[in-house]
Chain A
Amino acid sequence: MLSLDMFWNRVIPALNEGLFFSLSLIIPSAVIGFLGGVCIGALRVYAPPAVRRIADFHVGVIRGVPLLLQLYFLYYALPKWGVRFSPYQAALLGFILCSSAYHSEYIRGALLSIRQGQVKAAYALGFSTLQMALCIVIPQAVRRALPGCGNEIIYLIKYSSLAYVLTFIELTGHAKELTARSFHYIEIYFTAGMYYLAMTSLAAWLLGLLEKKTRIPGFGAQK
């Protein structure tokens, strides 16, 4: 059994450090990934057919291939083409590409679900296209996409552990290093699992709160 002393003085500080590195990946990927997803989702609905097809293809590729393979590609294959990333950069880029593709699915569905009458009514009142998009379409679409996008952020928290296979030592990486020295696999990995569980639960709680805060009668999530 792992001694309590070692647990508090060795394991927890190391995992806390790992947590910091994990968050340094998760937070920017979540924010940029979401914004990217909004852009790609909008392109997939409103852009001219050629652009739409390219965006659909991009999303199809990212959603069809394991994230691990994408990360390996970014980190190991691209240097041969002269593009070199640090492990952090490769992981960040991989997560952003991946989650923006998934977000774009929900955004696209939400945009398609907005009734034409909403747009007509805005134009009839003299709104410009930009005003119509900002005041009518986006507030409605974001609400519809929120549950799906929230799930996506929770997935991102979990998949951030993959950064470790690119040798970026975050939470999982720190746990692995600890076990390599102490052999207390169960205690250490279980504790690391609790860290992730805390992150995902906190995110789920915050997203639920956000959903409740922005809830409007008669405005369900998209199916």
Chain B
Amino acid sequence: MNEATQQTPVLEARNIGKSLGGRPILSDLSLSVYKGEMKVLIGPSGAGKSTFLQCLNHLITPDTGELLLNGERISPANKGELRSLRERVGMIFQDFNLFDHLTAQENVSIALVKVKKMSRRDASLRAMMELERVGLSRRAGLYPAELSGGQKQRVAIARALAMDPEVILLDEPTSALDPELVGEVLAAIRELARGGMTMIMATHQMDFARALATEILFMEKGAIIERGAPASLLAPGAKTRTQAFFARLVAEESAC
């Protein structure tokens, strides 16, 4: 890694703010993610994690603040710049959002053809490669309705990866899954982290966050109220909000 990339964050958000109907949803959020890092957003539902992630690729337009991709300021008014931001920032949704009318392979290849202007042949080959990577090459011809939740999410990961994104945003990628399917999706994400992918992920999976996060950001009511390395936030006896939150999650899970 050379000096320059070390110093410039891949994605930087400065003072992002958003309100809806006069009620603030996000207030003054800042975050920088460097190459190969994984930032994990934690917090109760309704804390604004999802909104914040969608602000990072302007699926939701923030009211205030700015975004820098590799140090370059993105001006959202410029449609071309906006599209290139989205092309370079991948996103995984909680409820997959695979295109219902396309096969797994077409789901992965369509943006390569339409956005990256690849030839159809190259795009399908690339799609096959990405599906292979998430272990789904044998399901390439199936439609979303014929896949399990875990398989759908892995196709969504392949779809994001195929675009060669510089950073991937993951919005609670395992929340909509049955418990027995969570593992396969986490394994795919772990594989990405091992490969050095830069990621920002909202999740409730504590063990996963502890093992892989470079930094945990605890959000509540639209603000980051705690941040730090997992080792410090989750150290035994740390008495942090993060720790209390996870303790409650674990208690709820075992109560079920």
Contact = CB atoms under 8 A, between A and B. Distances in A.
Interface of A: 115, 117-118, 120-128, 131, 135-136, 139-140, 143, 216-219
Interface in B25-75: 54, 57, 59
B101 A126 contact: no
A146 to B, nearest CB: 12
A126 B83 contact: yes
Contacts of B111: 125-127
Interface of chain A, main secondary structure: helix
Interface residues of B, number: 32
B93 interface: yes
Contact of A135 (B84, B90, B93, B110): B110
B172 interface: no
Contacts of A128: 79, 83
Interface string B78-95: 010001101111110101
B144 A218 contact: yes
A217 B101 contact: no
A123 B59 contact: yes
Contacts of B3: none
B79 A217 contact: no
B163 A126 contact: yes
Contacts of A120: 54, 59, 93, 97
Given A125-B115, A127-B114, A127-B115, 20 more contacts: A115-B97, A117-B95, A118-B97, A120-B93, A121-B93, A121-B97, A124-B89, A124-B90, A125-B159, A126-B86, A127-B111, A131-B115, A135-B114, A140-B100, A216-B101, A216-B145, A217-B146, A218-B144, A218-B146, A219-B101
